[in-house]
Chain A
Amino acid sequence: DVKVTQSSRYLVKRTGEKVFLECVQDMDHENMFWYRQDPGLGLRLIYFSYDVKMKEKGDIPEGYSVSREKKERFSLILESASTNQTSMYLCASSMLTGELFFGEGSRLTVL
Chain B
Amino acid sequence: GIQVEQSPPDLILQEGANSTLRCNFSDSVNNLQWFHQNPWGQLINLFYIPSGTKQNGRLSATTVATERYSLLYISSSQTTDSGVYFCAVPTYGNKLVFGAGTILRVKS
Contacts and interface: CB of A to CB of B under 8 A. Distances in A.
Q: Do A and B bind each other?
A: yes
Majority SS at the chain A contact face: strand
A71 B67 CA distance: 38
Nearest to B100: A42
Interface in B80-101: 86, 88, 90, 93-96, 98-101
B31 interface: yes
Interface residues of B, number: 22
Contacts of B45: 2, 99-102
Interface string A28-48: 000101000100001101001
B66 interface: no
A45 B31 contact: no
B41 interface: yes
Interface size class of A (residues with CB under 8 A): 20 to 34
Interface string A89-111: 01010101111111111010000
Contact of B95 (A58, A99, A107): A58
Interface of B: 30-31, 33, 35, 40-45, 48, 86, 88, 90, 93-96, 98-101
